Amino acid sequence: MTAIDNVSLAQRVYTVEQVQQGEEAAAEACSISMMQLMSAAGTAVFKQLQNDLKAPAKIAVCCGEGNNGGDGYIIARLAREAGYQVDVFALSPDKTLSSKTDNNAERARLAWRENGGQEKVVHDCAPQNYDLIVDALFGVGLNRALEGTAAELVQNLNDASAKVLAVDVPSGLNADTGSVPGVAVHAYKTVCLVAYKRGLLTGKAKNHVGQLVLEDLGIGEAFAKQNNAGYTRMAAEHVMNWLPLRRPCEHKGNNGHALIVGGQPGMSGAVVLAMKAALRCGAGKVSVACHPEVQPVVAAAQPEAMVRAANSQNDLQALMEQASVIALGPGLGQSEWSHKMFEWVTNYCQQSDKTLVIDADGLNTLSSQQSKMKRGKHVILTPHPGEAARLLNTDANKVESDRFAALSALRDTYEAQILLKGAGSLVTNDSGQFILDVGSPAMASGGMGDLLTGLISGLAAQGMTEADAAVAAGVWHARAGELAGNEGERGTLASDLLPYIRQLVNGKIT
């Protein structure tokens, strides 16, 4: 089992509630007051601003009424003192404040005013007049759509393609789910404070956060000790050594046998991609059981694989008995042949407890069954949002509105290892819960899921647990997509990822 305990703060991911309820106790443990913590937040964001833009650049700071706005006033004051040209736009610029206030955000605002600072109405903010906009409107507590003046301002920023630096979370984004119920800021950078909030790393959030930077404000270690992270953030560097070095006396029999089942007429490419991925990640032997009509085509695609025509349970039986891992679904289709193959494979795997990876039309067939049969720990399901919706009898928008809730529902329903694909793929398995913080829009093309199925199967065949195989394959697959996408996001093919997958599983690149 690969060690995933004792990870750094940069890998620990929390809910909004955990951060809101835990930061004060962590600050107290570090002998830091909440006003000092707010000052640290403003200072940390200002330093990020300085890294990206030099004085005397023109900056607009847009401030709300809460603590996020308080951070904004501190940023504005520091920027002006450093020689930047600063304008502050407030949702309520004429608000009366008392010098006796014990509200930290109001105290930060008073300090801005006492230093000669003024506030303008947000309607007057013309994004084109500024080199950078600081978004300090709403913090992580917002869980509804922006309305009124705030929504208009954010829409204006987006329409102007303004360069926006977001404080903790882009306003309008739900930091707990990653959903965007209305309009949300498109930031070039988001400075996440104290600890990573889970919604910033998945789903629609990927369109809004830009570069995500963590600033723990000096309380991160104490916070991590006091709060258990619900998710672990995984990237390529975290799985680099999950496959051991091979010994000089290795032979193919030591490295497992993956069987790929699928490939009905007209869909042979899917099973070919899965087959190639299983081979390129190091499986000792790879077999394919496909429809008799496509067997010659699949066999010609890769001479190292063993390709058999399967039209009966007897055709499959010997192959299934020889295999270490079975993958079901690439190019399987929804024909009578497809349903028979599904029944034979799933029945055999349930009786034998053999590792089974189900994807694509295998998932669609599973979702159509009257009984949502529990699949167990030896089964890995890899749905995209549409397939997840069918598995849960809902719709894809519902899944995407809260990917974490959908992941939990899939786990509860099927009791399997689940990899929910998408921007910031999510995994729940016997080892824990993970966010795969890697990937590229270059992967928005056909065949990518088939490649992932083959990769999971090949890793599991080599002895990885089902839990580890889902995480490692998800990360390496997405990282290979990033690397292939460097040559051009448009036009990247699934097969373009294969050379990078080979390098990644050998630890030659990260």
- Of 481, 450, 463, 466, the closest CA to residue 288 belongs to 450
The answer to whether 450 is a known ligand-binding residue is: yes
Quick one: angle between helices 34-52 and 104-114, nearest 10? 60
The answer to whether 315 is a known ligand-binding residue is: no
The answer to whether 486 is a known ligand-binding residue is: no
The answer to whether 136 is a known ligand-binding residue is: no
For residues 377 and 417, the answer to whether their CB atoms sit within 8 Å is yes
Annotate 229-288 with DSSP letters as a single string.
-SEEEE-GGGSTTSSPPPPTT--GGGG-EEEEE---TT-HHHHHHHHHHHHHTT-SEEEE
The answer to whether 142 is a known ligand-binding residue is: yes
Res 377: pLDDT: 80
The answer to whether 124 is a known ligand-binding residue is: no
Say whether pTM exceeds 0.85. Answer: yes
Residues facing 307 on adjacent strands: 288
The answer to whether 366 is a known ligand-binding residue is: no
Q: How far apart are CA 405 and CA 385, in angstroms?
A: 12
The answer to whether 145 is a known ligand-binding residue is: yes
The answer to whether 452 is a known ligand-binding residue is: no
The answer to whether 331 is a known ligand-binding residue is: yes
The answer to whether 10 is a known ligand-binding residue is: no
The answer to whether 263 is a known ligand-binding residue is: no
Residues facing 192 on adjacent strands: 214
The answer to whether 140 is a known ligand-binding residue is: yes
Structure tokens at 450: 């088939």
The answer to whether 165 is a known ligand-binding residue is: no
Question: Residue 102 class from Cβ within 10 Å (0-12 exposed, 13-18 middle, 19+ buried)?
Answer: exposed
Kindly list the structural domains of the chain, giving each domain's residue range(s) and its CATH number in brackets, ordered by start.
9-229 (3.40.50.10260), 255-505 (3.40.1190.20)
How much is the CA Rg of the chain, to the nearest whole Å? Answer: 26
In order along its 510 residues, the chain shows pLDDT tens digits of: 444 457 899 999 999 999 999 999 999 999 999 999 999 999 999 999 999 999 999 999 999 999 999 999 999 999 999 999 999 999 999 888 888 899 999 999 999 999 999 999 999 999 999 999 999 999 998 999 999 999 999 999 999 999 999 999 999 999 999 999 999 999 999 999 999 999 999 999 999 999 999 999 999 999 999 999 999 999 999 999 899 889 999 999 999 999 999 999 999 999 999 999 999 999 999 999 999 999 999 999 999 999 999 999 999 999 999 999 999 999 999 999 999 999 999 999 989 989 999 999 999 999 988 555 566 789 999 999 999 999 999 999 999 999 999 999 999 999 999 999 999 999 999 999 999 999 999 999 999 999 999 999 999 999 999 999 999 999 999 999 999 999 999 999 999 999 999 999 999 999
CA–centroid distance for 181 within its chain: 19
The answer to whether 174 is a known ligand-binding residue is: no
The answer to whether 141 is a known ligand-binding residue is: yes
The answer to whether 168 is a known ligand-binding residue is: yes
The answer to whether 424 is a known ligand-binding residue is: yes
How many other CB atoms sit within 10 Å of the CB of residue 221?
14
The answer to whether 71 is a known ligand-binding residue is: yes
The answer to whether 449 is a known ligand-binding residue is: yes
How many other CB atoms sit within 10 Å of the CB of residue 241?
10
Res 371: pLDDT: 54
The answer to whether 67 is a known ligand-binding residue is: yes
